[in-house]
Structure 1
Amino acid sequence: MASPLILGPMLRHVDETSATIWVETEDAGRVRVRAGGRAWEARTFAVHDHHYALVELDGLEPGAVLPYEVDVDGERAWPEPDSEYPASVVATWESGRRLRLAYGSCRTSVPHDLAGNLTHGVDAMRAFALALAEGSAERPDLLMFLGDQVYADITSQEMQEFIRDKRDIDEEPGEELKDYEEYAHLYRLAWSDPANRWLLSTVPSAMIFDDHDVRDDWNASQDWKRRMEATSWWHGRIVAGLGSYWVYQHLGNLTAEERAGDELWQRIARHDGDDEPDLTDEVDAFADRSDREPMSVRWSYTRDFDDIRLVVVDSRAARRLDPDARALLDPDELDWFDAQLRGGFRHVLIATSLPFLLPMGLHHVEAWDEAISQGAWGRRAARAGEVLRQAVDLEHWAAWQDTFQKVARMIRELAGGERGSAPQNVLFLAGDVHYSYLAEVDRDDVPGSRVLQAVCSPIRNPLPRVMRWFSVVMSYGAATPVGRLAARSAKVPDAPFRWRTVKGPWFANNLAMLVDAPDELGLSWHTGVVDGGDEAHPRLEPVAALRVPADRDGEVTST
C-alpha cells in the first residue's frame, strides 16, 4: 500500500517545551503525531493541489528525547514498515546543554549512485545521515541549511523528465523551473532519499534561501532584474519560488509566536470547519507582493540557545537595487539586524548564505567592480562592470560596500563591548562559494571579541577542477594586490578592519559541525567517501577539525 506521506515528517523548530513537524501528504486529511503517551493533531491545508500540515507539539519537558509516530487519517504513515533506520525522535532543548550545530549550503538533487557521485560527488549530508543512524556520529541540536537547498535553474535529468511530461521543454524557460508544480517536484527529489528523509525527521532544521533557490544571481543588480522581468516566464518563476519557499522552508523556521503573526498562517488558524483550507490564491498574492515590496515581509529570524545567539540573515530578497541607493539589506532589514547584534552572549553566530568576509583578493575585486559599475570610471566601464558582475557572480557583501561598511562598524561595536558585554566570538556562518575556509579578523584591528568567518560549501555540488584553480587565483593569488590597487583607484573606502584566511580552502563536498565547549569552540568539516564501490553507503570522513580557544590571545589550531 502506498504511503499517505509524500514528504516528511520533517522536524523543524524545536525549543525547550515545543516542537513542530511538517509533512506533505497525498490527499487532504488530518495528521496526528504521537509521542510520550500524548497526541497532537492538525488538518492539512492546500496550495496548488498539494496538501501540507504543520503539527505543533506543546507541553513537552526540557531535555526530553521522545520517539514519535505519524498517522494520517488514522493510518500509520511513519515510521515506514521494515525501516532500516532508528526511531525518529523529538529532542527538546535543555538549558545548560552545549550547542552542536551542523550547517552547509549548495546541495544538488541527483541520484546517489555511481553516475551521480561521479558528476556531483558524494552527498555529505547523506553520509552524515548514515553515520548518525549507525551511531558513529552525534546528533546535532540543529541542522542549518544556508541556501541552494534546491536548484531551480540547473535541473537534473529526473527533473527534466518531469518537465517534459507536462510542457514543451524547448519553450521558455526550457529546462529551468516554471511554476509551483515543478517546484513541488524538485523538493520531492531533494528530500525523499530514505537516509536524508530519516535525518530530517530526527534532527531539527532551519533554512534560508540563496540565489539558485530562485535563479543564479537573483537580485544581483537592477540591470539583472530588468532583464528578468522582460522575459515571458520570470513573474511565474518568482511567484512560484517565493510561494513554495514559504511552504517548504520558511514556515518551519518560525516559532509558535512568530507563526501567530504570519498572515498566511493566520488564514489557516482562522479556518472554521472540517474541510481543508485552500491557500493557493493567498500564497501567490503574498509571493507576488514579497517580490514587488521586499520590505513587506521578513525572511530573517533569530534563535537563542542560552548564551549563544544565532541570527539568520536574508541576503537575497531584502536587497535594494536602486543604483543611487544600493543596499544588500534594505533600511528596515538593516535596522532589524542592527537590533539583534547585542552583547551579553558568549557567542554571536551570524548565518547568511553569502560570506561576509570573502578572501581578500575576491573582496577587493568585487568592491572595485561595484564602483566601476556605478560609474566610477565612466559609462563604458560601467557597462563592462555590469557584464563582469553577472558573468562571474561578483555580488556578495563586498559588492554592496555601503551595507558592508555599516555592518562592519556594527561588528566592531559588538566586539568592542559598545553594545553590552563583548562575546567571546562573533562568528559568521556562510556558504555559496563552493569551497570551505576559516577566516579571522586581525585582532589588533578589533578589540574584545574574536571575529571569524566559517564557510561550508558545497554539501553536494563541487566545483570543476579548472574552476577551483580560478577560485584560488581570484581569492588568494595575484588578485589580492591587484584587486587592492584597483579598488583604491576606484576610490573604494578601506574596510574598518583587516582579515585573512587562516585555514583552507577545502573543495570537497562538506557538512560542517560547530561544537560549543567550556574552553573552546570546535569547528570541523566532514565529507563522504565510498569504499569498495559501495556507492549507497558512503563513510563519513573528517576533512578538517579546528579548535578556537576561549582565550582571545590563543591561536586557532588543528586538532
Structure 2
Amino acid sequence: MLLLGPLLRYVDADSATIWVETADAATVTVTAGERTGSARTFAAHGHHFALVEVTGLEPGSKPPYTVAVDGTQVWPSDDPELAQLPPSVIPTLQPGKPLRLAFGSCRVSRSHDAEGTADFGVDALRAYALFMAGLTESGSDDDERWPDLVLFLGDQVYADETSPRMREFIERRRDPEQAPWYELKDFEEYAHLYSLAWCDPANRWLLSTLPSAMIFDDHDIRDDWNTSWSWKQRMDATDWWRDRVVGGLGSYWVYQHLGNLGPKARADDELWQRVASYDGPGELDLTADLDALAERADQHPDTYRWSYARDFDTQARLVVIDSRAARVLEPDRRSMLDPEELAWVDEHLQGDVDHLLVGTSLPYLLAPGLHHIESFSESIAEGAWGRPGMWLGEKSRQMADLEHWAAFQQGFRDLSEMVLEVASGRRGRAPRTITFLSGDVHHSYVAEAWPREGEVASRILQAVCSPIRNPLPKVMRGFTAGAAKRTTGLVGRLLSLSGRVPLEPVRWAVTSGPWYDNNLAVLELDPEGLRMWWTAGEADGDPELPDLTRVATVGPFG
C-alpha cells in the first residue's frame, strides 16, 4: 500500500529518482515505458521509504510511469479525486532547451474550501497544479504549462504553527498542555505533518510529475531556528528540544534532502551508502543511524552538509545553500556559514556558465532599510554600544526575526566578495546573470546589485517569491513597502553607522515589487536573457478551482 508519493525528485536527461512511503516493508518498482527500476524499502521510526532510480530514459521525453508495491500496481491511484488528473510522467531534461524553473517558499497545509481560502488565501502551488493538469485557465498569454523543475526554498512544513488536523493528531498521542504543546515533538509527528502537506490530490499529482528540489528554513524546525547563541542555549536547556530537532532533521533527510541529490552525491552520502549496500534479510532499519546523524548535524554542523549543487549543461548552475543549520553562533565567531560550508560555497560559485543561480531560503539582499536595521541589531548585540546595547540587540533580533544574511555581516561580506569575483570574470567566464532565489519574508520582489567600486560583467539579482500560501499580515505590509524606499535605506544606513558597521562591498536597490499575493514564481533562461514572472490563484467562483493569474513579469536580464 502506498501511503505518500510518488514524488518525482532528481531528474536529468536520462534518469530519474522517485520517492515513496509505503505502509509496510516492500519492494517498490517504477516502470516508465520500457525502463524499470526497483528498490527495497528501508525503515525509520516504524515508517517505510524507498527511493527508486530509473535509468536509460530518452532526453526530452515525458513517458508516463507506474508504481508497484510487491508486484501490485498502486499508482496511478484508483482514488476518484486523482483519477480526473492526467497520468504522471517523467519529463527528462533536453540538452540545449532553455531551462524553466519554478520557485517559492512558505506554504501552510490548510483546507482549500471557502473557510481555508478566507483565512490563508488560494494555495499558489495548487493553482499551478490545476493549470498544469488542464483543469483551469490562465490569464497569461504563456501557453507552456511545464517547468523543468520546482525549487522549494523553505518552510515546506510548519512544525511550530500547526493546523487543526495536525493538532487532532497530537491530541491523540499526548497531552498538548505539556511541552512542546501543539508544536511537533518527534519523528512520528513530522511524518504525519508531511502527509498532510503532500496529500491534497492536485498537489500530490503535481509532485508526482514535476521534478522538485528543496531546502529547509526555520519553520521546518522552529521559528527563529539558530538565530543566535543565546537562542540555541535556551533551546538546548529544555527537556523537549533534543527530540524535536532530531526528529526534524532526521525526517528532513528522509522526506526532503535525499531526493535533492543526484546519483554521485547520493553515492557519497554515508547514510545512503548503508541503504544502497544493504543485502541482508528483512528490511534495513535506519532509525539509530538517522537519529545519530541528525543529533550530530545539530550539535556539530560541520559534520554534515545539507547544501547541494547541479549543472544544467553550460546554460546554468544551481547552487543551493543551507543558511540555517550551518551557522556559527558563538559571539566571537558568528557567521552564516561555518568554515567548511564557506569553503564548499567558494568552490561552487564559479563562472563558465551563462547563468549562475543561487538558492538560499533567506534573501541575500533585503530591502536596504531592513538590511541596515538588521546589521545594526547584530552590531549592538555583539557589543558596539556596550552591555545595554547587547541586551537590546539580542532582544530585538529574536522578537523581530532580525536574522537574515544582513544580521550575519561576516557571512554577507564573504558571499559578496565571491559573487563580485564571479561577476568580474576572475573565476572563469563571467555569467550573464547571477541570481539569488529566496523566500522567507512573506512578500515578493526583485532587487539588483552592483559593486561599490569598479565594474562587473554580470547582472547581480535577488528574486524573492514568498509565500506560496501564508500571507503577510496587513499591518506588516506597510512596513515592508517602506523598507524598500530609498529614503528608508539612507536612514537605516545612518543607524548602522552608529553601530560602526562598515560599508558593504555591494550597493543595491529594489527594482520591482513588493507583491503580497500567494505566489509561485517561474524563471526562464532563453537567448534574450533571464525572464521571471510571478503567478497566483484567483477564485472568483469555486474556491477549490482557482484560475491562474499573472501578478508580475520582469526581464529579460543579461
SS class of match (1:286) = helix
> Could you give the per-residue CA deviations for residues 218-257 of structure 1, whole angstroms, max 9, x where no partner exists?
0000011011111111111100000000000000001111
Residue matched to 1:554 = none
Residue matched to 1:75 = 72
- Offset at 1:391? 0.4
Distance 2:478 2:177 in 1: 34
Q: Identify if the C-alpha distance between structure 1 residues 261 and 429 changes in structure 2 by more than 3 Å, giving closer, same or farther.
A: same
Distance 1:475 1:160 in 2: 38
Given that 2:451 and 2:506 are in contact with CA atoms closer than 8 Å, whether structure 1 keeps it comes out as no
Distance 1:527 1:264 in 2: 39
Distance 1:184 1:138 in 2: 31
SS class of match (1:77) = strand
> Could you give the per-residue CA deviations for residues 333-383 of structure 1, whole angstroms, max 9, x where no partner exists?
111101111111100000000000111000100000000000000011111
Distance 1:230 1:279 in 2: 28
SS class of match (1:91) = coil
| Number of matched pairs | 546
Residue matched to 1:349 = 357
Residue matched to 2:225 = 218
1:528 maps to which of 527, 537, 542: 537
> Which deviates more, 377-386 or 80-89?
80-89
**Residue 416 in structure 1 maps to residue 424 in structure 2:** yes
1:447 maps to which of 444, 451, 456: 456
- Offset at 1:480? 2.1
Residue matched to 1:376 = 384
> Could you give the per-residue CA deviations for residues 179-214 of structure 1, whole angstroms, max 9, x where no partner exists?
111000000000000000000000100000000000
The 5 A counterparts of 1:31-430 are 31-81=28-78, 82=80, 83-134=83-134, 138-307=145-314, 308-430=316-438
SS class of match (1:89) = coil
- Offset at 1:481? 2.6
Residue matched to 2:498 = 489
> Which deviates more, 85-94 or 271-280?
271-280
SS class of match (2:482) = helix
Given that 1:365 and 1:479 are in contact with CA atoms closer than 8 Å, whether structure 2 keeps it comes out as no
Letter in 2 for 1:130: L
Q: Identify if the C-alpha distance between structure 1 residues 536 and 381 changes in structure 2 by more than 3 Å, giving closer, same or farther.
A: same
> Could you give the per-residue CA deviations for residues 513-545 of structure 1, whole angstroms, max 9, x where no partner exists?
00111012110000011022x011111100001
Distance 2:452 2:524 in 1: 26
Distance 1:214 1:186 in 2: 12
- Offset at 1:548? 2.2
> Could you give the per-residue CA deviations for residues 278-306 of structure 1, whole angstroms, max 9, x where no partner exists?
11111111100111110000100111111
> Which deviates more, 186-195 or 84-93?
84-93
- Offset at 1:16? 1.4
SS class of match (1:66) = coil
**Residue 460 in structure 1 maps to residue 469 in structure 2:** yes
User: Moved runs in structure 1, 4+ residues, more than 3 A?
Assistant: 442-446, 473-479
Letter in 2 for 1:18: S
> Could you give the per-residue CA deviations for residues 24-78 of structure 1, whole angstroms, max 9, x where no partner exists?
0111111111111232111111100011010011122222221000011111110
- Offset at 1:274? 4.6
SS class of match (2:363) = coil
2:547 maps to which of 539, 547, 557: 539
Distance 2:530 2:275 in 1: 41
Distance 1:398 1:288 in 2: 28
Distance 1:407 1:40 in 2: 40
2:510 maps to which of 485, 501, 513: 501
Letter in 2 for 1:229: D
Distance 1:402 1:464 in 2: 31
Given that 2:11 and 2:211 are in contact with CA atoms closer than 8 Å, whether structure 1 keeps it comes out as yes
Distance 1:540 1:60 in 2: 32
Letter in 2 for 1:400: F
Letter in 1 for 2:24: D
> Could you give the per-residue CA deviations for residues 366-411 of structure 1, whole angstroms, max 9, x where no partner exists?
0000000000000111111100000010000010111111111111
SS class of match (2:540) = coil
Distance 1:504 1:351 in 2: 20
**Residue 18 in structure 1 maps to residue 25 in structure 2:** no
Which ranges in structure 1 are unaligned for 5 or more consecutive residues?
551-559
Q: Identify if the C-alpha distance between structure 1 residues 477 and 171 changes in structure 2 by more than 3 Å, giving closer, same or farther.
A: farther
SS class of match (1:212) = helix
TM-score (norm 1): 0.96
Residue matched to 1:28 = 25
Letter in 2 for 1:172: A
SS class of match (1:324) = coil
Given that 1:5 and 1:23 are in contact with CA atoms closer than 8 Å, whether structure 2 keeps it comes out as yes
Given that 2:365 and 2:447 are in contact with CA atoms closer than 8 Å, whether structure 1 keeps it comes out as yes
Distance 2:447 2:379 in 1: 25
Given that 1:79 and 1:87 are in contact with CA atoms closer than 8 Å, whether structure 2 keeps it comes out as yes
**Residue 472 in structure 1 maps to residue 481 in structure 2:** yes
Letter in 1 for 2:503: D
Letter in 1 for 2:469: R
Letter in 2 for 1:223: S
Distance 1:10 1:52 in 2: 12
- Offset at 1:479? 4.0
Given that 2:372 and 2:406 are in contact with CA atoms closer than 8 Å, whether structure 1 keeps it comes out as yes
SS class of match (2:392) = helix
SS class of match (1:427) = strand
SS class of match (1:498) = strand
SS class of match (2:284) = coil
**Residue 435 in structure 1 maps to residue 443 in structure 2:** yes
Residue matched to 2:140 = none
Residue matched to 1:557 = none
> Could you give the per-residue CA deviations for residues 484-537 of structure 1, whole angstroms, max 9, x where no partner exists?
1111111101111211000000001000000111012110000011022x0111
CA RMSD across the alignment: 1.3
Distance 1:497 1:60 in 2: 44
Distance 2:557 2:388 in 1: 50
**Residue 518 in structure 1 maps to residue 515 in structure 2:** no
> Could you give the per-residue CA deviations for residues 440-496 of structure 1, whole angstroms, max 9, x where no partner exists?
114785411000000000000001111212322344376423211111111101111
Given that 1:442 and 1:500 are in contact with CA atoms closer than 8 Å, whether structure 2 keeps it comes out as no
TM-score (norm 2): 0.96
Letter in 2 for 1:525: W
> Which deviates more, 288-297 or 263-272?
263-272
Distance 1:276 1:497 in 2: 53
Which ranges in structure 2 are unaligned for 5 or more consecutive residues?
138-143
Letter in 1 for 2:117: N
Letter in 2 for 1:312: V
- Offset at 1:549? 3.6
Letter in 2 for 1:187: Y
Distance 1:447 1:281 in 2: 50
